[in-house]
Amino acid sequence: MAALATAARTAVFARAAPVNAQRAAFAAARVQAKSVRRATLSTRSVTTASYGKKEEGSFPSTEYRIFFTEGEKTISPWHDVPLYNDDGTLNAIIEIPKESQAKMEVATDEKSTPIKQDMKKGKLRDYPYNINWNYGMFPLTWEDPAHKNDEVEGMFGDNDPVDIVEIGSKTHAMGSVIKVKALGVLAMIDDGELDWKVIAIDASDEKAAACNDVADVEKEFPGTIDAIRTWFRDYKIPDGKPANKYGLNDECMNKEYTMKVIAETHEFYNALMSGKRENTEELSLE
């Protein structure tokens, strides 16, 4: 609250300054206020039912968008949904339901960052075959393309939020906001960029209580980690591209390592939003 008050006073004092100084002060106050609000958001518990969806355009089409709402207000799934919950779970945005092919993604370069279908060479993009798990992203995270990861062959981030592969039994609708337990992570290298794939389970799944770390995935879902590793390695081959590969000796890292990855990319996100890291990628920060 003190930070918000300071931001407000900055804006008031700026009225007496020249126009350029006034605008600069207002912009600084706005960034500061947003940083305070999103710092609070990062740990606020979420109730899925509090979020709504508003579709625009027909599916599939280049105009199709899913906007997110909270009450009457349009919000951003990347910026306005908290990452952490008080009970230790995380929030995930489902972009692609299991057993579907349309490659949907949060549009990080559009205002309010709605979900849209990816494009390739002017055409809507589909996977060559169904993805067998719910797929999406973690809000308030960002894989910084200027950060070199020395643990993963010196790769730089892919400029996207962190991806999640949800392995539970339910099929979640596009645009769902769900609570998950993070269990492991694969360090996928895609076109020379680091593209983390967090393996997680819906916290309400019947097997969630038995899954607390990566070793539990093999017990409760035998063969699933290898299937995920193979699917993401090979899905570009039918389009004539080389297979993706993995760092960290192809290993699916444990929960402790996974949570460090999520925390680090959350800090990258915070640096971007605060202005500490310049927005040279021209991402939408609203």
User: In the prediction, which pLDDT does 23 show?
Assistant: 45
Percent of the chain with pLDDT over 90: 82
Close Cβ partners of 183 (under 8 Å, ≥ 6 residues apart): 199, 200, 201, 211, 212, 213, 214, 216, 217, 255, 258
From the list 212, 91, 214, the residue with the least C-alpha distance to 162 is 91
Residues 171/99, Cβ–Cβ less than 8 Å: yes
From the list 73, 78, 104, the residue with the least C-alpha distance to 92 is 78
The rounded Cα 16 to chain-centroid distance in angstroms is 41
**Mean pLDDT for all residues in the chain:** 89
Give the pLDDT confidence of 243-263 residue by residue, as tens digits: 999 999 999 999 999 999 999
Give the pLDDT confidence of 29-46 residue by residue, as tens digits: 444 445 444 544 565 555
* Residue of 44 and 140 predicted with greater confidence: 140
Give the pLDDT confidence of 43-100 residue by residue, as tens digits: 555 555 589 999 999 999 999 999 999 999 999 999 999 999 999 999 999 999 999 9
Residues 154/148, Cβ–Cβ less than 8 Å: yes
Give the pLDDT confidence of 122-135 residue by residue, as tens digits: 999 999 999 999 99
Give the pLDDT confidence of 100-117 residue by residue, as tens digits: 999 999 999 999 999 999
Q: Report whether pLDDT(28) > 50.
A: no
Q: Report whether pLDDT(157) > 80.
A: yes
HSE, side-chain direction, 13 A CA sphere, residue 154: 0
Q: Report whether pLDDT(166) > 90.
A: yes
User: In the prediction, which pLDDT does 50 show?
Assistant: 84
Average pLDDT over every residue of 191-202: 98
User: In the prediction, which pLDDT does 133 show?
Assistant: 98
User: In the prediction, which pLDDT does 109 show?
Assistant: 98
Q: Report whether pLDDT(272) > 90.
A: yes
